[in-house]
Amino acid sequence: MVKRYQKKQNSTMLMSITFIDLDNFKYYNDTYGHDIGDLMIESFGKLLKKVYRRVDFVSRYGGDEFVILLPSTNCQESVRAAERVKEELVAQNYFIPAIEEAVKHPVHIPPDKYLGFSTGICSNFDVEPNYDMERTMANADKALYYTKEHNKGGI
């Protein structure tokens, strides 16, 4: 999509890529089963679609990872969008009400096991050449793993 646009416009479009990896996802699969794990993935995907713009491309990347392409968006704007995701996750009480509805009884989830996420972000204007979307994507992925290792739950 990006390459096709750039060829037509004979220019490079500003694009940020956000990688998201869920934190504590294994806890839900192990404690409540894969059906609840699936519920968490589905609920988080819906949350992303709610927070991000219609022009943004939101996709599950595999397992408990998601990728979002944000056209005409720099890194600072992408960080703010990821912060809105955190705010919405808190507003939805980490999907605990959805879990309770699914299992038909109250659940106690320790706060250190609440569903969270870590984020890595890169803009194509932060790489050379700035039309290299593969490098942009690789850098966003590296940023995600740096966050997971050094600041779990960070952006």
Q: Tell me which residues are annotated as active site.
A: 64
Which residue from 46, 116, 122, 112 is spatially nearest to 83, judged by alpha carbons?
Answer: 116
Q: What dihedral angle (degrees, nearest 10) is formed by the CA atoms of 87, 82, 7, 127?
A: 160
The residues, ordered by sequence, that sit 6+ positions from 60 with a Cβ below 8 Å of its Cβ are 41, 45, 66
